[in-house]
Amino acid sequence: MVARYERRLQPPSSSFFLFGMRGVGKTTWARDRFPDAHWIDLLREDVYQSHLVETRLFRRELAHLPPGSWVVVDEIQRLPSLLNEIHSLIEERGLRFVLLGSSARKLRRAGVNLLGGRALQRILSPLLPSEVGHRYCVDEVLRYGSLPLIWNAASREDQLEAYVQLYLKAEIQAEALVRNLPGFARFLPVASLFHGQVLNVEGLARDSGLARSTVQGYLDILEDTLLAFRVRAFEGRLRVKERRHPKLYWLDSGVARAARKQYHAPSPEERGSLFEGLIAQLLRAHQALDRRLYDELYYWAVGKTALEVDFLLQRGDSFTAIEAKARERLDSTAFAGLRAVAELPNVSRRILVYLGDRRLRHETGVEVLPFASFLEELERGL
């Protein structure tokens, strides 16, 4: 029996885009929330071809719906020209649309303006601990990620391997996002090595056998297809020459590992970046849910030293510093970055999240939170 999850995302009352990486459960969520909506599935080739050939079909198909009716259009990025009709139907007839997609890239490339602000945008993230409940296991998430498609698979390894191939074929090749598919296929496993790391574009290009400008474009594609995101360094008043490169995080650890064909249990060295990536994913997910967690998300580092804090959340003039450690026991070195960041003005909280079970306040003033306690803090908005 396929497990069902009660997703936290609540739909707005007006038209909206719902974006999310493939396999995150957008279609399932929409069917649960809008059981009576009129459905147009552009993933079905016959439906796609019909609307591609007959431009007036879309309006005729919705002619019978009364004002205020909901219409779900799945895989909207396959046919961006429909947004002109959707815009008109919102204005003229008061229809409300749920527009599902795994990327806004093709919509922007087609010159559409995402309905000129007449539709909100929401993002569905991989499964949250509160959505999985007692089945949630950090070790399993670090190894396999938390996409519903993967969690419900008979063989998670096989499904992850198939996922990467589906992404290359359905997202990249079919949507013609790149001209050089073999080059992009070489790029993916190298980019996955930078999960939780400061980006070295030149090194990434060299190891992929690609031009630096090509790699920059490929990184944009990872973000546009919601497979990864970048976190900027907090620069304060640094001079241009002192500016640091951003960090790269994949949205799902299982997919990142599958991109380099790793399905075994992570090594202790790998767990550090995977756990940091999990905290980054949870911060982004909770921000998408209530939009009050932070105004800006950064990482923080001191000059050319190794002193660093994984996350710096800015809310107004105040900062919360968060360090993630995939350990059950901590030593003094674990607090070095958080001790240094205390010199930054307006740091109101310093938090170290770890895999132990004791909640305490360190002598440096740092709050030490077990993972479960950190989740409770996230629910309260930190």
The pLDDT of residue 331 is above 90: yes
Inform me whether the pLDDT recorded for 201 exceeds 50.
yes
CATH number of 292-379: 3.40.1350.10
Confidence of residue 99 (pLDDT cuts 50, 70, 90): very high
Q: State the pLDDT at residue 207.
A: 95
Q: With 60 as the cut, is the pLDDT of residue 84 above it?
A: yes
According to CATH, the topology of domain 129-273 is Arc Repressor Mutant, subunit A (1.10.10)
CATH of 16-123, one of 3.40.50.720, 2.60.40.3140, 3.40.50.300, 3.30.365.10: 3.40.50.300
Q: Over the chain, what is the mean pLDDT? A: 91
Decide: 283 and 323 in contact? Cβ < 8 Å.
Answer: no
pLDDT for 169 equals: 78
> Can you spell out the DSSP letters for 197-217?
EE--HHHHHHHHT--HHHHHH
For residue 69, count CB atoms less than 10 angstroms from its CB and return exposed for 0-12, middle for 13-18, buried for 19 or more: middle
Residue with the bigger pLDDT between 26 and 110: it is 26
Domain edges within the chain: 16-123, 129-273, 292-379
- For 105-128, the pLDDT digits (tens) are 767 665 555 666 667 889 999 999
Q: State residue 326 phi and psi, 5-degree precision.
A: -85, 55
Q: Determine the pLDDT at residue 326.
A: 96
| Helix/strand/coil for 299 | strand
Determine which of 12-21, 30-39, 117-126 has the lowest per-residue pLDDT on average: 117-126
Q: Are 225 and 105 in contact (CB under 8 A)?
A: yes
In the chain, % of residues over pLDDT 90? 74
CA 165 to CA 181: how far, in whole Å? Answer: 12
pLDDT band for position 237 (50/70/90)?
A: low
- Going from the C-alpha of 317 to that of each of 239, 247, 284, 312, the distances in angstroms are 21, 23, 20, 12
| pLDDT confidence of residue 107 | 73
C-beta of residue 253 within 8 angstroms of C-beta of residue 141: yes
Mean pLDDT of 259-267: 95
Residue 243 pLDDT level (bands cut at 50, 70, 90): low
For 290-306, write each residue's pLDDT tens digit. 778 999 999 999 876 67
Model confidence at 178, in pLDDT bands (50, 70, 90)? confident
Q: What integer pLDDT is reported at residue 238 of this predicted model?
A: 47
